[in-house]
Amino acid sequence: MTDKVDQYYDVALSLVKTCGNLISEHINGCKSFVLKSCDIDLVTEIDKKVEDTLVGGLSKAFPDHKFIGEESVADGTKGELTDSPTWIIDPVDGTMNFVHGFPHSSISVGLTINKEPVVGIIYNPILGQMFTAKKGQGAFLNETQIHVSQVKEFATALVTFEAGTSRDPERFKAVLENYKILVSKGHGVRTLGSAALNMAMVALGGADAYFEFGIHAWDVAAGTVLVREAGGVVIDPAGGPFDILSRRILSASTMELAEEISKNIVQFYPERD
């Protein structure tokens, strides 16, 4: 199995590097975009070009593999998670950042086999940050191994958190409540605008936890492998096992920290994917 995963990873990594040029060549200058679910949920032609390139290259190399891509799902393709090798792709994670030229956007490519995340690639081509991980083989930033921090207490944790891209009033109420909790109980809050890069910061040990309600599988599939391979944990924000289709996630450097954050935050339950 490891040999096969290595082969899958090698093809995906080469395609991600190629697609990185599409993002870095267009990060500056005004970019046209289309609205999706609301006025802060955007998509650009670059999102679609990156996804088409990744899906085209991977399906040519591995015809029996399945795909769940953010923009193909947005265009109506049903994304079904089965036991088959399934590529879960966010072509530009942090599209709002990309549109504004804020240099924190990433290509996020995860692979599941038997519904288990086994490969994660998160690439910010603007800053030259290539985060990679394969199950059982460690986590890396630009080929240097990385590890989570050893922070165990909420009071000394730097937590990444997002306002999100939906205007749902109930979700937004939980966001504001949790922001107050984070500011009053933790060391600090950071918002990168990209779930994948937030998780990469946890894997790097630069942040100690990340949680969010409303994300999709493509935002977090790659980051889940990266955090776990860096020695961290990924669970449901209420404390149970992580469910990649639940649209809920809590990742942290240690289980102690994850459990303390879980006990302190306000929960929100989006409709599952």
Binding site for ligand LIP (CB under 6 A): 70, 90, 93-96, 162, 164-165, 194-195, 212, 215, 219
Q: In what order do the strands lie in the sheet with 188-190?
A: 188-190, 158-161, 209-213, 248-252, 233-235
Residue 219 in marked binding region: yes
Q: Give the nearer residue to ligand LIP in terms of CB position, either 95 or 113.
A: 95
Cβ 160 vs Cβ 189: under 8 Å:
yes
Task: Name beta bridge partners: 1.
Answer: none
Nearest residue (CB) to ligand LIP, 95 versus 132: 95
Residue with tokens 């200058």: 29
Compare residues 90 and 208 and give the one whose CB is closer to ligand LIP.
90
Question: Token pair of 230, please?
Answer: 């860096």
Q: How far apart are CA 268 and CA 203, in angstroms?
A: 25
Residue 33: exposure state from Cβ atoms within 10 A (0-12, 13-18, ≥19):
middle
Smallest distance from ligand LIP to CB 184, Å = 22
Least separation in angstroms between residue 48's CB and ligand LIP is: 12
6 or 177, CB closer to ligand LIP? 177
Please name the residues in contact with 10: beta carbons below 8 A apart, sequence gap of 6 or more.
none
**CB neighbours (10 Å) of residue 38?**
11
∠ Cα 85 106 232 (to 5°): 70
70 in a known ligand binding site: yes
Measure CA 75 to chain center: 20
- Nearest-angstrom CA–CA distance, 164 and 194: 9
Q: How far is CA 121 from CA 26, 33, 80, 124, 241, in A?
A: 21, 25, 21, 10, 22
Q: Is 90 annotated as a binding residue?
A: yes
Q: Which is nearer to ligand LIP, 79 or 164 (CB)?
A: 164
Binding residues for Mg(2+), by number, are 70, 90, 93, 219
Binding residues, by number, are 70, 90, 93, 219
